[in-house]
Chain A
């Protein structure tokens, strides 16, 4: 795209931004999804602000210049109806599971699509201001911080890695162990007393517990190996609280919920590492004790906090 192509677009963008003042101020609030960098040319390109945003808003998202003119920082913002986004309305909506999901997905979509043309600093869901001027004023105070974060995440992406204990493999192992033990336990019991003794029963229970513990330890050790291997490739890493059985399914306990900040050019290495871990774990036993799930790339949501505040 040449600069000449951009000139009319830039004028149009400037017109939207300055043409705010508006008749319907008071009825709308300004919601900010993310902050991004980029020169005037990038910002003026139609694609830079093209994201769906909230579907219950009258207008589309737009770019709001931050800081001094020519600072090259923009807020990806949208004017949203106050009736649905003012404090009380929002509180009620966010408490509703369906509404929360819809909002979270739309917010995520807006953040992600802004990142299609360069690094962004994602802001949390429902970062709202009474109008564009307030948004601009408040966000402009953080320009240094935003710049630091953009520098930190530029050319990097977030990848999520989750590890689950493989319940199927564990169940098989448990069944096998039980069968084994049952056989030897009964044999022993039969040998000594001719019937299943209390101590044999207790032995069996104890050994079953030991096995369960051993399988759990093995799965945790696998998860730790996965984390170590990926951490070695990553610029930064965070471990989150594993998801509960409501999300994972009761028989698939999540034992690692981690996110890694990776240089884009290490993506292949990352994929190779995951593949080799999967192959390695599978090779150790008939059924791997763990399952690995990878998702990404994500906008580096999990790695923007420490960027400027530290």
Chain B
């Protein structure tokens, strides 16, 4: 692509072309307005996450040790944490609910079996 072709307003320069991958990734992966497309790919999906972890996780530990925790106040990151928190809370509730259901249906199931057992004995 010829860059001169598309710069009628040269002042509004595009991002640095030599930008390093980490800079680009942290912008294109989860910044920008998220619109639910037809192809559902969660960019924080497991496979991708492994790559993200390679980029960032060690620094989280290092940073914690160094007393840097200010990204935790970054609403973009903390809202994600909050979302995950909410999701896992929902899941826990759902599991509890299902366990209850399973428990009560086991009770139901037991009763006829007992009855049958009683019937057979007679």
**Which A residues form the contact surface with B (CB < 8 A)?**
1, 29, 32, 34-35, 45-47, 50-52, 85-87, 90-91, 94-95, 97, 100-101, 104-105, 107-109, 111-113, 115-119, 121-130, 134, 138-139, 142, 145-146, 149, 157, 160, 216, 220, 238-247, 253-255, 257, 264, 295-299, 301-302, 304-308
Contacts and interface: CB of A to CB of B under 8 A. Distances in A.
B89 to A, nearest CB: 22
B34 interface: yes
Given A51-B6, A160-B23, A244-B62, 6 more contacts: A94-B43, A116-B9, A119-B12, A130-B39, A241-B63, A304-B31
A88 to B, nearest CB: 10
Contact of A116 (B6, B23, B25): B6
B112 interface: no
B67 interface: yes
B41 to A, nearest CB: 5
B35 interface: yes
Interface of B: 1, 3, 5-16, 19-41, 43, 45, 47-48, 50-51, 54-60, 62-63, 66-68, 70-71, 73-77
Contacts of B40: 87
Contacts of B3: 113
Contacts of B10: 116
A122 B32 contact: yes
A104 B31 CA distance: 12
B18 to A, nearest CB: 9
A115 B14 contact: yes
A142 B45 contact: no
B6 A121 contact: no
A149 B34 CA distance: 13
Contact of B48 (A52, A95, A111, A119): A95
A97 B24 CA distance: 14
B23 A115 contact: no
B48 A123 contact: no
Contacts of A109: 1, 14
Contacts of B74: 238-241
A246 B9 CA distance: 37
B62 A117 contact: no
Given A125-B29, A242-B68, A138 B76 contact: no
Given A29-B39, A100-B48, A243-B22, A264 B31 contact: no
A35 to B, nearest CB: 8
A301 B27 contact: yes
A295 B43 CA distance: 25
B12 A118 contact: yes
